[in-house]
Amino acid sequence: MKRKTQKPKEVAPRQESLTRRDFLKGASVAVSSGLLITEGHAATPSPEPEPVAGPGPVPIILKVNGKPHKLNLEPRVTLLDALRNYLDLTGAKKVCDRGVCGACTVLLDGKPVYACNLLAIQAEEHDIVTVEGLSHDGQLHPVMAAFVENDAQQCGFCTPGFVVACKAFLDKHPDPTFDEVEEGLGGNLCRCGTYVGVRQAVLEAAKSMKGGKANA
């Protein structure tokens, strides 16, 4: 694996999302059962030979929720596994593990990404924020409060991913329409069927966050 950091794309709508397998294929155009993937999502091969990391563990530093963490990880460890298995940050959930469902959504330099779809070494030198980094001193983030009020959760396993995706969505669309909510959150899946509450929660959170309030 070439050790090169790159800017991952914002979480794509569901139909456009990539599997990790596709990601690792590099820049070649991947066609998987009718889904044409054409965007420059993956690493562009460099003409220069680059240092190769691994396959054994390599030292890396991940900056998560404002704090640097020194880790020794095999290059194949995903950002999600690094957060969950090595840093005990379990708010991001492992569900599809293939960049489809959004339960592992975290912010990378403020943009939402699927943590299962990135290698930890690719997240080095980026600011990573997990759901744990969105609430401070026991105060719920306004998105979380709106989720509670509108019962936008049942089992709750998709909920942290939704919360992070909503926060990022509202950063970009502070005054969203109903249609924008449905499109913008199409990259997260729920099995219990909480979308009615989620739609309402996002619109309500947008209102409560007006005026730059507490959108930490």
Chosen residue from 19, 105, 117, 122 binding another protein by CB under 8 A:
19
Q: Select 87 or 123, whichever has its Cβ closest to another protein.
A: 87
142 exposure class (CB count in 10 Å sphere: 0-12, 13-18, 19+): buried
Q: Select 3 or 199, whichever has its Cβ closest to another protein.
A: 199
* Cα–Cα distance for residue pair 202/152, rounded to 1 Å: 9
Least separation in angstroms between CB 62 and another protein = 17
**Among 58, 17, 57, 65, residue whose Cα is nearest residue 41:** 17
Q: Select 108 or 181, whichever has its Cβ closest to another protein.
A: 181
Residues 6+ apart with CB under 8 A from 125: 5, 63
Q: Is 168 in the site for another protein (CB under 8 A)?
A: no
Spell 108-138 as b/e; 16+ CB within 10 A means b: beebbbbbbbbbbbbbbebebbbbbbbbeee
Q: Is 24 in the site for another protein (CB under 8 A)?
A: no
* Cα–Cα distance for residue pair 130/112, rounded to 1 Å: 10
Q: Is 63 helix (H, G, I), strand (E, B) or coil?
A: strand
Q: Is 17 in the site for another protein (CB under 8 A)?
A: yes
Q: Give the number of residues in contact with another protein, rule: CB under 8 A.
A: 62
Q: Mask 137-156, x = binds another protein (CB under 8 A)?
A: ---xx-xx--xxx-x-xxxx
Q: Select 8 or 78, whichever has its Cβ closest to another protein.
A: 78
Chosen residue from 7, 76, 207, 210 binding another protein by CB under 8 A:
76
Q: Is 114 in the site for another protein (CB under 8 A)?
A: no
Least separation in angstroms between CB 158 and another protein = 6
Chosen residue from 12, 64, 158, 206 binding another protein by CB under 8 A:
158
Q: Is 195 in the site for another protein (CB under 8 A)?
A: yes
